[in-house]
Amino acid sequence: MTKEQTKIQGEIWVPVRRPWSRRKRFWILTSIGILVLMGMGLSSVFWLQSQLDPPGNEGEAILVDIPTGASINDITRILVNKDVVSNFTITRLWWRNSGPYEAGTYSFRTNMSVSSAREVLEAGPSVSTNTITLPEGLWLSDIEQRLLSNFPFEASELDAVLRGKTEAFQIRSKYQPAEINTLEGLLFPDTYSVSDLELSNEVALIQKMVNRFDMVLDDVGYGEAMAKIGLTPYQVVTVASMVEAEARIPEDRPKIARVIYNRINNDMRLDIDATVLFAIGEHKSQLTSQDLQIDSPYNTRRFKGLPPTPIAAPGRAALEAALNPADGDWLYYVLVDRSGKHFFTDDFDEFNRQAALAREQGVFR
């Protein structure tokens, strides 16, 4: 009788399976593990390949604007949003050592491979362009006049687009409240490349500026505005517009933002002259007593609270300052140096003394 058989019930022989040895079990389990890992590895390779070169043919041709100073992260985000490439993380990692790329308007196709999209960037802008620079702090009316002076837009059509007067071509920022139609403060100050197509289509150009604004706010972190500041993103943009109008030097921006929040929290008027200038619709160096009495919700010398909209186009630094104000108890500030430096205090008498001294020194009248 062999070791693999045993006798039961007389002459019936029944085979008996010997238990596997530890060594045999080890090699079987190891082989299974290797096969599983190989399968997972192949799946990962196929997935990565699909992100770098998605299945199917390339799609429709689209024009994509790459703004001045855009980083690889910015460019990747733009192309993912336009469906040119599919995966932000993979594309960014694949391009981490590439660039910088020239600002301008490029002709891409949707559903491109990462390598093909990079070739388009390396070739440079593919559409003839003009440029226009919009500095920080402009009113919407200022931007409108610059656009009309540089490009062949119809004044009435441009005005309708900028102020939301037409439903057919209404452009909105994702941070814009439903009850607000004007794009005041929502066009990001930057140098823009303007393609031949956009020269005959103000809607496309204004949409580009609003898209740039939204992208910057996303990057700065305005989605967290309510949690950080206790105000909506749009209200914080309004604060940023006042910071832009009031600050002369970089280190004063977060301090001015803090003064604004402190005054709101103390139920005080903001008393910001830049809002009065906006209310009267005139750029000038000195306000009159009549100017200060204008009956307008933008006149923070008369009415408490924030203006109903931003009063200027804030740049990135002002937007960051409004979302990240300095720590301090200040309630007042006054210009004390021709370099643009302000003095900050929580003492009204000290504020008046510094203001009087600045007038004596001719810093302001």
Close Cβ partners of 145 (under 8 Å, ≥ 6 residues apart): none
pTM: 0.72
What fold is seen in the domain 61-123? Answer: Dna Ligase; domain 1 (3.30.1490)
Of all residues in the chain, what percent are helix, strand and coil, respectively (each to 5)? Answer: 45, 10, 45
C-alpha to C-alpha distance for 244 and 241, rounded to whole angstroms: 5
Q: pLDDT digit of tens for each residue in the chain (365 aa)?
A: 444 455 544 555 555 555 556 665 556 556 566 655 555 555 555 555 666 677 778 888 888 888 878 888 889 999 998 899 988 888 888 887 777 888 888 888 998 998 888 899 988 887 666 888 999 999 999 999 999 998 889 999 999 999 988 765 689 999 999 999 999 999 999 988 888 778 888 898 999 999 999 999 999 999 999 999 999 999 999 999 999 999 999 999 999 999 999 999 999 999 999 999 999 999 988 899 999 999 999 999 999 999 999 999 999 999 999 999 999 999 999 999 888 899 999 999 999 999 999 888 888 77
Q: What separation, in Å, do the N-terminal and C-terminal C-alpha atoms of the chain show?
A: 119
Delimit the domains of the chain by residue range: 61-123, 129-220, 222-360
C-alpha to C-alpha distance for 80 and 73, rounded to whole angstroms: 11
Looking at residue 3, its pLDDT comes to: 46
> Which residues in 191-205 are b (16+ Cβ under 10 Å) and which e?
ebbbbeebbeebbbb
Torsion of CA 244, 250, 255, 261, to 10 degrees: 30
C-alpha to C-alpha distance for 189 and 244, rounded to whole angstroms: 11
C-alpha to C-alpha distance for 63 and 194, rounded to whole angstroms: 11
Looking at residue 90, its pLDDT comes to: 84
| C-alpha closest to that of 259 among 270, 267, 250 | 270
Looking at residue 18, its pLDDT comes to: 58
**3-class DSSP state for residue 278?**
helix
Looking at residue 194, its pLDDT comes to: 85
Supply 298's token pair.
Answer: 């933008």
